Amino acid sequence: MRDPRVESWLDLNSGTSTPESLSRMSSMRIQTVEQSAVDLEQATEKLRTVADSPLSDGSTTNLNPYEEMSRIPPMPMARAAGLAITLMGAAFLNTLSVQAMVIAMPSIGEQLHMPPERYQWIITSYSLTFGCFLLLWGKVGDIYGKRMVFLLGGVWVALTSLATAFSPTEIAFDVLRALSGLGAAANVPAAIGILGTSIPPGKVKNYSFAIYAAGAPLGAISGTLIGGLLTQYASWKWIFYLVAIVSAVITVAAYFIIPRSKKAANPDPTARKMTLDWFGALLITTSLILLIFTLSQGSTGHKGWEKPYIPSLVLVFVILFMIFVGWEWWLENKTEREPLMRMSIWCHTGFTMSMIVTGFFWASFNNYMVYATFFYQDFLGLSPINTTLRFLPTGIAGFLITGVSGYLLSRVSGQYILMVGVICTTLSSCAVPQTHAPT
């Protein structure tokens, strides 16, 4: 029998108006509208934060999804908008930080004396820790409080970004960028979870998530402009000064705006106790680090995938990942302990396929952004400002489509919107190679 929490993700095309169908549709809107930074682990976190709805005392309930959502008190539109705008800062800053590095990458590499084949680590070092620690930080937020995790993540991003500006060497820069990714990995799932558990289902919640989702394209636009302007007319170091300041402002605002959680009056005594699965966290984090490191190293250097240690790391990744899957299944089905990830969510084909498509989509899009920078600045010989102008349409279109998607989701199946997005990205990628080299 399927877990009732999984039912909230089923029937994307349900046309009924029952409370349960409304709850399921609301959860699907949350999944589809949020398009920031990411990858498969972030999408899984969104499912868990919405479906699990843990109580502040650390326990979960056995209520059906509609009953869990109905426990959330209503929130005025103005307050919900303020909360969404504040939390949007997580998606905004995450995307800004990456996109600015895309523009500034050649300048940073040249000043820190990096060989061209290692330029990608300017971005990969951040993405490595960001992607690998999303799941762990999401569970930490469930247990110890999403508000606390968000605030600590904001402080951490501010401090590490400020330190990155003073990096004297390539190694110091990469290490500090990786540490900054840890803070962003705490902010993003905490922000999604706070929105999901603070606002009851309805138009206010849908528009709140639309506001949050707008943070990614806004960050892309701002990162493109900031990266181009500061790199050409000042220094790439000012990018990190600015990120540190913005992160500090967002953190202070979040301290006053994010509501404090309230302890449940009558927690369900039969529910599983929320505990942190440290062994599972170690397995999935290590395996993902190996995967991303292998993919990065395999695509660099003159030997690339022929490097002798690459196949060994791939094998270790596969073994660790299989152990993780088996461990999580055992915790869910054979014990009373709460797993880091419930394997039962993958039993639904539609959900599994949508996560696979989303994962490949973001992998393709992020690689497109990186190699487009080399294409514009190295192949076409454009300046950072001219490169910025060519990236701007991407962010502007993303911002506009975010609003349109939020409106269409109540009228069109999310899978069709996803298909249109994938097709557009495919056509764009195919058009770039048709550009001729300058004469």
pLDDT greater at residue 188 or residue 298: 188
pLDDT digits (tens, 9 = 90+) for 10-40: 443 444 434 343 333 334 433 433 443 334 3
Highest mean pLDDT range out of 152-161, 215-224, 393-402? 152-161
pTM value is: 0.71
pLDDT digits (tens, 9 = 90+) for 195-241: 888 888 877 887 788 888 888 888 888 888 888 889 888 899 999 99
pLDDT greater at residue 4 or residue 400: 400
Q: How confident is the model at residue 389 (pLDDT cuts 50, 70, 90)?
A: confident
Q: What is the mean pLDDT of residues 290-294?
A: 86
**Partners of 53 in beta bridges:** none
Report which DSSP code applies to 265.
S
| Cα-based distances in Å from 72 to 28, 58, 198, 210, 335 | 18, 17, 6, 19, 29
User: What per-residue confidence (pLDDT) applies to 437?
Assistant: 59
User: What per-residue confidence (pLDDT) applies to 27?
Assistant: 41
Length of the chain: 439
Residues near 5 by Cβ (< 8 Å), separated by ≥ 6?
51, 52, 65, 342
Distance of CA 417 to the CA centre of its chain: 19
Name residue, tokens 């797993």.
Answer: 339
Distance CA 79, CA 75 (A): 7
